[in-house]
Structures are given as structure tokens and as C-alpha cells.
Structure 1
Amino acid sequence: MKHPVLHFRYGIPIYLASWVFFVTSLFIIGWYFDGRPVYNSLANAFSFSLPLLILGACIWFVVVYTSLENSGVAGFLLHHLTAGIIIVGLWISLSYQIRITFFDTYPQEGLNWIIPIHWQIFLALCTYDYIVMVYYLIIYYQNFKEKLTNESELKNLVKEAELNALKSQINPHFLFNSLNSVSSLTLSNPEDSREMVVKLSTFLRYSLDQNLKELNSLKNELDNIRLYLEIEKVRFGDRLQLEYDLTETCRHLKIPNLILQPLFENAIKYGVHESLEPVTIRTKCRAEEGRLKISITNNFDPDSVPSKGKGIGLRNIQERLRLIYGRADLMKIVKGNDHFTVHLEFPQSV
């Protein structure tokens, strides 16, 4: 783990500012409260504080290699007690040597030159404990921050894996429906079936390219949908009618790629396929307050027997919206007597 003083942008300025505050506090205590001369108070404060400038940074290595989890309570306390005694002894000895070496005076009080020796020891131990506590808080913060980063990365990986799994259902689901359509035309209309296969290959090539991106413009998605509907037009002819109601602004807004495709598949499967009358698929798009609202409606024959399905398409859409936008209220389904509508919202802040 990196040293918080040496390896972070503001580590050294903050550390030096804290040391200056410590020196200033000792000077004020000696000069103002004890009534000592300014020079003597300054010499005592600087002499006592200078070793701390080095030892305070060294305490980090004691802290970083001593953890409660690895040492246990007894080992943890014994380790810091031993380190504290050694550091306090070095601190008081060095400060005494600095005082008599650099300030050209030999204090008559001996080791009691600033305050009684037992108070020096107490002050040094309290300072050691304070520095240790600050370092452990820094370690805790760094571990907590790293944990949040790892959890965020893990969530992103899980989200990506789930999205990829959902995407992997799209093409096989569509391909299954399209091959059924080709199969139905093979005997009755071979020319149309060949045309349908060519368009199907073009559509799948486009879809595979779009799988490399998560979001796509509505214009590209609708172009893709039109290609799919042309494939189905080969089969159903005039029974399939299309209507679009959208503004130019909507065309450039973003939606998850291939997310509309299952809705049109359902409209074909449960509307056009089951009805002898023309079925109209209406696509309406509006941009409102940073959201793109899309409604897809198709009529159906209420007297027809609906074909059974597994509901992969709608579940897929619901789950992808939840994963991408973090909301479960972006899709609403309305089923009337002869109309089926899906309302979708796509926030544009993602």
C-alpha cells in the first residue's frame, strides 16, 4: 500500500502543515502559558518537534505491517507498545541532542528542559497514538474505496454478462421465426422464399455488427426494422401495413440496439399471422423532457386462437431496460379488445 504522505498529491503539504501546527502549539505553550523567552520557547518547540518530522512518516511502516486480523488483539497491542516505546525513546533522545547541538546552550534541566520528562513521554505516546489512528483511518478509507471500486467493476462485469446473455437470445429467437416463414414459402412460392433468404442474410449481418455497441440511434434501428419487415412483406403482402409517426429530433436519439425488434416480431406472430384481415403496425415516437417515448401498436383478430409462445421477447426488453437504465418502470403493456400496445421510455442521460 502506498505511503499517504509520499505518494499522494496533497500528502506532503498536509503533513508539513500538521507539523507546523504542532511546532506552533508547543511554542505558544512555552512562551504564552509558561512565560519563557521567545528564543527559548522557539528553540524548545523546534528541537522537540524536528524528530517527529521524520519519525511521524516512519510510523506508517509500523502501521501498514500490523493488522488486528493477522496479529490478534494481544499481538496487535504488544506490537504497538514495543514500537511506541522505541519511537518515543528515539524522539526524546534526538530532540535533546538537537537542542544542545544547534542552539548553543546546555539546558540545566537535563531531559526536563521543556517540560518534566514524564510529561514529555506522555505527550510523545499520545502523539504516536494519534498518528497511528490517523494512518489506520487512511488505510480503512483506502480499503473501503478499493472495495467500492471492485464492487463497481464486478457489477459492471455481471451487467455486461447479463446483457450479452440477453442479446444472445435475440438473433436465435428472430432466426427461428424467420426460418419458419421461409419454410412456409418454400413450396408455395420458391421465388419469394429465395428473396426472403437474401434479405435475411443482409439483416443478420447488420444485426451482428450492431451487437458490438450497446446504444444506437433510433434512425438506424428503424432502418433495421424496415429491413426485417421487408422480409415479412414477402410472405404476408398487403396483410401487413405499416405506419410511422415520428419527428426528426427523435431519429437522432439513442436506444439500446435491437430492442424494438422483438415487438415487431410479436406483432407479426400474434397479429398478422393469426388474422385474415390487414393488420397495421403503428410506430409513434416523441421526445419529451430528456426522454424518448415510443409506442408500438398493432390490431389483431380477437376471435383467433393465439399461438403459444415463451414470451422471450417482452421479458428480454424488460430485463435489458432494467440493466441499462436501472429502472423497472420503462415498459408498459396495454391490451385491448382488438389492439395491443407497448409503451417504452428511453432516458437520454445514459
Structure 2
Amino acid sequence: MEHPILSNRFGIPIYFGFWFSFTGMLFIIDWYFQNALYQEALLSALSISSPLLIIAPSIWFVVRHIDVDKIGRLAAALHHITVAIIMVAIWLSLTYLIFSFFDKDPITKGTRPEVIMPYYWLAFMAFAIYDYIVMMYYMIIYYRNFKEKIEQESELKDLVKEAELNALKSQINPHFLFNSLNSVSSLTLIRPEQSREMLVKLSTFLRYSLDQDLKELNTLSNEMKNSRLYLEIEKVRFGDRLILDFESDPICDDLKLPNLILQPIYENAIKHGVHESLEPVGIQTKAYLKNKNLIIQISNNFDKDAIPPKGKGIGLKNIQERLNLIYGRTDLIAITLTESIFCVNLEFPQSL
């Protein structure tokens, strides 16, 4: 773990700011409250604070070496008491050494130079400052560990989210491929001369679909281009029984939505609407901007008397789960079913 003072570009300026504040406090105590001369107060303050310039950063290595989680609180406390005694002894020795060296006219010759306070009070202050510095370093360590844990949890959530999206992708691709191959098979029996055209379009569509990453966003124009390709494939099969209607505001062309999110809806419209009805079925698609969100409405009519085909409901459930994973919301899809109209409303926030 990097040193919070030496490895941070703001660490050294902030540390010197605290050091100057501490030195100024010592100077004011001696000069104002104890009526010392200006020069004596300044010398006394610098004598006490100068060793701290080296001692305070050095305590970090002690704190990093004494791991409370590994050796326990009692052992850590004993270690710090021992180190504190050594540090304080070094600090006081350097303080009196510096003061004696620069004090050319001691007040009482042959005795200890007089600094701000007696040595026992100075020792008490040094112990208190050591404890404060140790506490601050441990707070930094715990903050960094907490931040690292949050980042790891976030990365884990992203990995889980990506795994779930990949699972959904592996689920929807066989589902789509099964429906598409059924369409090709049916067309081969009905109009074999058009089956080649449909296979070419199908291969183009599959190439696009399999290249997409379900966690990435795409523009509406690209998605609609791909959706039109799929519906054209189905129109070759169903002819006039399939009526397509697209209505999109040009301002929506560059808006974002998840890749292939519309595909299962069109598949359902074909399977439950066109396939089960002898009358023409229209699939209407509307796209517009509302409250800075992209709104897409896809609806189709269906034969209310037809027996619905069996299915597991993979398509709409897949959409619901993907929207929840990507946007973190469960209210982005709404399904409306009337007597003969099935409508799906989708909302795509433009700010993730």
C-alpha cells in the first residue's frame, strides 16, 4: 500500500500545512501565553516541530507492519507502546539537541535549555501526537480497504451481470434460430423458388445478430434496419398476410437501446399473430421521444378464436430480465392485451 503522504501529489502540501499550523501553535503558546521573546519562542517551536517532519512519515511504516487483524488488538497495542517510547525518546533528544545548538545564550548556564514546557509535559504531548498520527494512518488504511472492497464488489456485480446477459444471449439465439429455420422450411415447401432469397437474407440477419453483444447499446436506426430485414424474411413467407407499418421520429435515429431487444417481440407477433390467422395481420412500430427517453410501441392484431401455440414465453421474459440488468428498472416494459390487439410498450432511458 502506497504512502499516503509521499505517494500523493496533495499529500506533501497538506502535511506541510498541518506542520506549519502545529509550529505556529507552539510559537503562540510560548510567545503570547508565556511572554517569551520572539526569537526564543520561534526557536523553541522549531526545535519541537522539526523532528516531526521525519518522524510522522516514518510512523506509516510501523503502522503498515503492525497488522491488527493478524496479531490482535492487545499485541498491536503492546507493539505501539514500545515503538512510541522509542519514537518519543528520539523526538525529545532531537528537540533538546536542536535547541541547545542554536541557543547561544541559555537562561541558566549549565542546565537544561528551557523550551516551551517541561520535559514530562513535552513527553506527554509527543505520546498524544504519536497516538493521533497512528489513528489517522489506520483510518486511511481502513478507508482504502473499504474502497477496495467496494470496487471488488462492483467488479463482481459487473461479472455476474455479464454472465447473466450471456446466459440470456445463449437462450434467445437458439430460440430465434428455431423460429427462423421453421420459416425457411415452410417456405421451401410452399414456394421453393423464393427459398434461396430468404436464405440469403437469413444469413445476413444471423451474421448481424450473432455479432452483437447484448450488454452493449446500439442506435435505433441500426436496430430498425436489422428488424426490417427479419420482417422482410417473414414477408417472403407470408406475402400479403403480413402488413408492416413503421412510424419513427427522425430525431430518434441516434438514440440508444440494447442490441436485439426488439427481436423477440417481432417473433411473437409472427408466431401468435400472422402464423395463426388467415386474415392479414399488421405489425405497427412507433418510435418517439418522451421525457428524454426513447419510447417504442409495437402492436399487432391477432385472431381471437385461434388456438394459441404452445411456448415457454422466453421472448418477453428475456426482454424483462435484460432491461432490469442493464437499466436496473422493472417498469420499462408494459404489455396491453385487448380483444384482438396485442401491444408492447418499451421505454429506454438515454442516461445510464
State the TM-score bracket (shorter-chain normalisation): over 0.9
Match of 1:191 in 2: 193
Shift of 1:24: 0.7
Return the match for 2:143 from 127, 141, 144. 141
Shift of 1:107: 5.7
Shift of 1:106: 4.3
Distance 1:345 1:229 in 2: 22
Range with bigger deviation, 115-124 or 209-218: 209-218
Distance 2:116 2:241 in 1: 101
Shift of 1:90: 0.2
Q: What one-letter code is carried by the residue in structure 2 that aligns with 1:234?
A: V
TM-score (norm: length of structure 2):
0.96
Shift of 1:229: 0.8
Distance 2:214 2:297 in 1: 26
Range with bigger deviation, 259-268 or 306-315: 306-315
Q: What one-letter code is carried by the residue in structure 1 that aligns with 2:62?
A: V
Match of 1:263 in 2: 265
Match of 1:94 in 2: 94
Match of 1:182 in 2: 184
Shift of 1:142: 1.3
Distance 1:311 1:142 in 2: 46
Q: Secondary structure at the residue paired with 1:110?
A: coil
Q: What one-letter code is carried by the residue in structure 1 that aligns with 2:18?
A: S
Shift of 1:195: 2.3
Shift of 1:132: 0.7
Match of 2:174 in 1: 172
Change (3 A) 1:271 1:183: same
Return the match for 2:311 from 306, 309, 334. 309
| 1:44-55 alignment runs, 5 A limit | 44-55=44-55
Distance 2:141 2:107 in 1: 41
Match of 1:328 in 2: 330
Q: What one-letter code is carried by the residue in structure 1 that aligns with 2:251?
A: T
Q: Do residues 12 (structure 1) and 12 (structure 2) align?
A: yes
Return the match for 2:246 from 230, 244, 247. 244
Q: What one-letter code is carried by the residue in structure 2 that aligns with 1:317?
A: I
In structure 1, list runs of 5 or more residues that go unmatched: none
Q: Do residues 221 (structure 1) and 213 (structure 2) align?
A: no
Residue by residue, what CA displacement relative to the aligned partner does 1:134-186 show, whole Å, maximum 9, x if unpaired?
11111111112212222222222222222222222222111100111222233
Shift of 1:105: 4.0
| 1:29-40 alignment runs, 5 A limit | 29-40=29-40
Match of 1:60 in 2: 60
Range with bigger deviation, 38-47 or 103-112: 103-112
Distance 1:176 1:79 in 2: 70
Shift of 1:112: 5.7
Q: What one-letter code is carried by the residue in structure 2 that aligns with 1:300?
A: F
Residue by residue, what CA displacement relative to the aligned partner does 1:54-106 show, whole Å, maximum 9, x if unpaired?
10110111111112211112111101000100000000001111111133344
Change (3 A) 1:111 1:102: closer
Change (3 A) 1:34 1:340: same
Shift of 1:344: 0.3
Contact 1:107 1:113 in 2 (8 A): no
Contact 2:332 2:347 in 1 (8 A): yes
Match of 2:129 in 1: 127
Distance 1:24 1:307 in 2: 85
Distance 2:36 2:228 in 1: 92
Match of 1:342 in 2: 344
Change (3 A) 1:41 1:112: closer
Shift of 1:192: 2.5
Contact 1:100 1:107 in 2 (8 A): no
Contact 2:276 2:308 in 1 (8 A): yes
Match of 2:274 in 1: 272
Distance 1:188 1:114 in 2: 105
Q: Secondary structure at the residue paired with 2:331?
A: coil
Q: What one-letter code is carried by the residue in structure 2 that aligns with 1:86?
A: I
Q: Do residues 27 (structure 1) and 27 (structure 2) align?
A: yes
Range with bigger deviation, 62-71 or 81-90: 62-71
Q: How many residues align?
A: 350
Q: What one-letter code is carried by the residue in structure 2 that aligns with 1:260?
A: L
Residue by residue, what CA displacement relative to the aligned partner does 1:256-282 show, whole Å, maximum 9, x if unpaired?
110001000000000001111110001
